[in-house]
Structure 1
Amino acid sequence: MDKKGYRELIKQKRSTLDIIMKEEFDRNIRSMLLQTEEYKSCIDLFIYISIGGEVDTHEIINKSLELGKKVFVPKVNKNTKEMNAVQINSIKDLVEVPPFNILEPKEISKVVPEDSIDLIIMPGLAFSKSGDRLGYGGGYYDKFLKHNRKAPRIALAYEFQIFDSIPIEVYDEKVTHIISERSIRTII
């Protein structure tokens, strides 16, 4: 199967996931993440804002802010095709951005260099057991990750998103951990 095939398969599986089951899976994933040493020890956390069928991150963001962590979220620059890490103090600091209605920070005054982040929590459509990641096709995370080699990269995913292998390109960046509703996989 090619990348397009994996993307379509996972989007279809996520769209048919029972809402009660999804909430249970999300709780399990959130609980496991919050217990990791990587999460407990981080100060500057970069995390995606979940949409649609992705593993929900809103509660993780709220909990992280409660704990006094600095929370940074993606802000995409469509002109440069890059992503910045922008600090937020609340989910209320976010607005929907067309055309996909992805939540992003209203303002970009608190941008930090990628290499100052302690932990990166990221989405994806498919992952391999060896840490390969298939995203949505924009390359934003691959570019962002090239500037931060030190921070652990934790992917949040449902078990059906994890495969023995997936198609990759030379520029595709790996994750160091995959947390699903069943387990934490440490890759590197």
Structure 2
Amino acid sequence: MISPGHDTATQRYLNALALFDEFVRTAASTAPDAAALRGLERRFAERIEIQPSYWSQIKGRTRQIGERLARQFEQRCGKPAGWLDHAHGAPAPAVVAPTSTRSAVRPPDTGTPRDEDERFIVELVLTYYRRNPQRARQRLLDLLGEVLVPVPAPPPPPAPLPTVAAADAALWAQTRQSIAPLKKKR
């Protein structure tokens, strides 16, 4: 049954986001390093067998999940037929109302994600933190510390070696001329 206040398209959207969240949690638990977590949206789209741009449009609410695609989501994610159309016990991800980036006027620094990429990173960090707060806190501080700590100033260049005065150079040349070369050993 569709949850109160949600039409089929909204319910499918919420459940698709829940499937993506499940996919991210699984990836974070099997390979928690940053390198392994890059490209999760592309890999999720590959799992569903759709183009990454199409998944991005679904997330941005510019495309809806039709009947055929809903069944494809369910089949590729191991859910029973009709699963995407019904509300489930887990809290649904926050619904983001579609906005036009041209007409949206955003306060300069609100602390909220500005676009899908930032929203993805925030959700990814929260998912990681909620699974293991102590470890996540330490790892995130380590990672961010590398980026946020100011780079120390480079050491000053070594002092130049004293230059040989012209008189010293002339004296050295004269001394070299008056010294006979060594004889070769037999």
Q: What is the TM-score with the length of structure 1 in the denominator? A: 0.21
Q: Larger % of helix: which?
A: 2
Q: Larger % of strand: which?
A: 1
